[in-house]
Amino acid sequence: MPISYLWSRMFLTNRGFLWLLLICNILGTIYGYIWYGLQMEYTLERWPAWMVIFVPDSPTASLFFSIALLFLMFPPRSGWLQLIRKLMEALAVVTSVKYGVWAVTMIFWGQALGDTLVWEDWMLTVSHLAMAVESLLFVRFFIFGWKSLVAALVWTLLNDYMDYSQGIYPWLTEQLVKRLDQVRNFTVCLTIASAFVGGLALWQARYARHNR
């Protein structure tokens, strides 16, 4: 079996594989919300309750991807569900790429500044890289367009604004907090880059389909 089979349509859209991927993402989402549990409680105690939705970044990204997988497995027929599907797909791509790369960067940036890596850091590195890769692999099976992509970009930039204007960004190590302005600037640039990469992947998939 050639290795290219692993990213072929036949393999990736196989019903059994989709169920396995969905289960893994749901479990990762649950774990992520548990991981953010203390920060969510802290936020609810000190800020308006609605702001808590901007706290758990990575698990919300994997939640978007899980919903996108469900729509892929069970395509909706009604118009408004189609709109929701497109938005969820665009959010899945932009946020999965963004937070997948962001988390890994923060881990190794912190390590370069003197933080000690533990086994959880390696687990988070693998799982977050997987988030970014899986979202880009599935772009060609998604139906969202440029309007949904722009909406996803706006939402993710709003999340950045809330994180760094209200101080509800993911808890960082002491070394990284000292460089918060740099972290903020990197985060915003990464959001824009993630939307660009998602758009490029979308364009490439549509172009390849058109020229078959």
How far, in whole angstroms, is CA 43 from its chain's centroid? 21
The pair of structure tokens assigned to 139 is 């772009």
Considering only residues 23 and 115, tell me which one the structure prediction assigns the higher pLDDT: 23
pLDDT of residue 176: 96
Domain range enclosing 153: 3-210
**Closest of 189, 197, 175, 172 to residue 96, by C-alpha:** 197
* pLDDT tens by residue, 173-204: 999 999 999 999 999 999 999 999 999 988 88
Q: What is the four-CA torsion angle of 108, 89, 91, 130, rounded to 10 degrees?
A: -10
Please check the confidence at residue 210 and state whether its pLDDT lies above 70: no
Q: How many domains does the chain have?
A: 1
pTM of the model: 0.94
pLDDT of residue 212: 63
Banded model confidence at residue 116, pLDDT cuts 50, 70, 90: confident
| 8 Å CB contact between 163 and 106 | no
pLDDT of residue 95: 98
CA distance 141 to 138: 5
CA distance 99 to 50: 21
Backbone phi, psi, residue 162, to 5° = -65, -40
Banded model confidence at residue 69, pLDDT cuts 50, 70, 90: very high
Backbone phi, psi, residue 81, to 5° = -70, -30
